[in-house]
Structure 1
Amino acid sequence: MAPPLPDTAPPTPRQRVRAVMRRAAADGLLGEEQPVAGFLDAEGIRSSVRDLGAAFAHVPDVLHTFAVKAASLVPVLRMLAGLGMGCEVASPGELRLALDAGVPPSRIVLDSPAKTPHEIREALALGVAVNADNLDELRRIDALRPEGCTSVVGLRVNPQVGGGSIGAMSTATTTSKFGVALRDPGMRERVVRAFAERPWLTRLHAHVGSQGCPLELIAEGVAQTYRLAEEINEGLGTRRITSLDIGGGLPVNFGDDEIRPTFAEHARVLAAAAPGLFDGRYGLVTEFGRSLLAKNGFIGARVEYVKEAGGRRIAVTHAGAQVATRTVLMPEAWPLRVGAYDSDGRPKGGTPVRQDVAGPCCFAGDVVARDRELPALEEGDFVVLYDTGAYYFSTHWAYNSLPRPAVHGFGADPSGSVRLATVRSAQTLDEIAAESGLAHAGALAGLGAQERS
Structure 2
Amino acid sequence: MLISPQASAPPMAGVRPFALTAIRHPTVATLLADHRALLADLLDGLGSPLHVVLPEIFEENVTGLRQAFAEAGATADILFAKKANKADCYVTSAAALGVGIDAASTPELVKALAGGVPGHRIGISGPEKDDTLHALAVQHGCLVAVDSISELRRLAATARRARRQTSVLLRSRTAGQPGSRFGLSAAERDAAVGLCAELADHISLRGFSFHLNGYSTAERATAANEMIEHCLDARRRGSLCAELVDIGGGLPVRYVEPRLWDEFVEQNEPTQYHAAKNFKDFYPYGGQTAAEAVRAIMAHPVDGDESLSAKAKRTGIRFVVEPGRALLDQAGFTMYRVQQVDDRRDTEGYAIVTVAGSSFSLSEQWFNSDYLPDPLLVSAQAAADEMFPACVAGSTCLESDLVTWRKIGFPRPVRRGDHLVYLNTAGYQMDSNESPFHDAALPRKAVLRLGDGEARPRWHLDGI
Normalising by structure 1, we get a TM-score of: 0.79
2:179 aligned with 1:175? yes
2:50 aligned with 1:37? yes
Mapping of 1:25-104 within 5 angstroms? 25-26=39-40, 28-31=41-44, 34-57=47-70, 62-104=76-118
Aligned to 1:202: 205
Specify the code of the residue in structure 2 equivalent to 1:299.
Answer: T
Mapped to 1, the partners of 2:288 and 2:384 lie a distance apart of: 29
Aligned to 1:409: 447
**Higher helix residue share:** 2
Specify the code of the residue in structure 1 equivalent to 2:408.
Answer: R
- 1:190/1:20 CA distance change after superposition, 3 Å: farther
Mapped to 2, the partners of 1:413 and 1:103 lie a distance apart of: 24
- 1:400/1:206 CA distance change after superposition, 3 Å: farther
Shift in Å, 1:382: 0.7
Mapping of 1:14-413 within 5 angstroms? 14-19=28-33, 22-26=36-40, 28-31=41-44, 34-57=47-70, 62-146=76-160, 149-161=164-176, 173-182=177-186, 186-199=187-200, 200-209=203-212, 212-234=214-236, 236=237, 239-256=240-257, 260-272=288-300, 273=302, 274=308, 275-279=310-314, 281-309=316-344, 311=348, 312-327=350-365, 330-332=368-370, 334-343=371-380, 350-369=385-404, 370-375=406-411, 376-395=413-432, 396-413=434-451
Mapped to 2, the partners of 1:32 and 1:60 lie a distance apart of: 47
Specify the code of the residue in structure 1 equivalent to 2:445.
Answer: V
| Contact 1:271–1:278 (8 Å) recurs in 2 | no
Mapped to 2, the partners of 1:276 and 1:225 lie a distance apart of: 12
Normalising by structure 2, we get a TM-score of: 0.77
1:32-72 superposed Cα distances (whole Å, 9 cap, x missing partner): 76222111223321210100111223668542111111122
Specify the code of the residue in structure 2 equivalent to 1:381.
Answer: D
Mapped to 1, the partners of 2:428 and 2:111 lie a distance apart of: 15
| Contact 1:106–1:151 (8 Å) recurs in 2 | no
Of 236-245 and 137-146, deviating more is 236-245
Mapped to 1, the partners of 2:28 and 2:42 lie a distance apart of: 19
Shift in Å, 1:264: 5.0
SS at match of 1:138: helix
Shift in Å, 1:261: 1.9
SS at match of 1:397: coil
Shift in Å, 1:90: 0.2
Shift in Å, 1:404: 1.6
Cα RMSD for the two superposed structures: 2.9
| Contact 1:222–1:270 (8 Å) recurs in 2 | no
1:140-176 superposed Cα distances (whole Å, 9 cap, x missing partner): 1232213652532221112142xxxxxxxxxxx3332
Shift in Å, 1:245: 1.9
Shift in Å, 1:192: 4.2
> Percent identity, aligned pairs only?
23
Mapped to 2, the partners of 1:397 and 1:280 lie a distance apart of: 47
Stretches of structure 1 that go unaligned for 5 or more consecutive residues are 1-9, 162-172, 427-453
Mapped to 2, the partners of 1:149 and 1:269 lie a distance apart of: 36
Mapped to 2, the partners of 1:11 and 1:155 lie a distance apart of: 38
1:256-280 superposed Cα distances (whole Å, 9 cap, x missing partner): 4988323254144234242312447
SS at match of 1:288: coil
SS at match of 1:315: strand
- 1:11/1:286 CA distance change after superposition, 3 Å: closer
- 1:353/1:15 CA distance change after superposition, 3 Å: same
| Contact 2:209–2:248 (8 Å) recurs in 1 | yes
Aligned pairs, number: 397
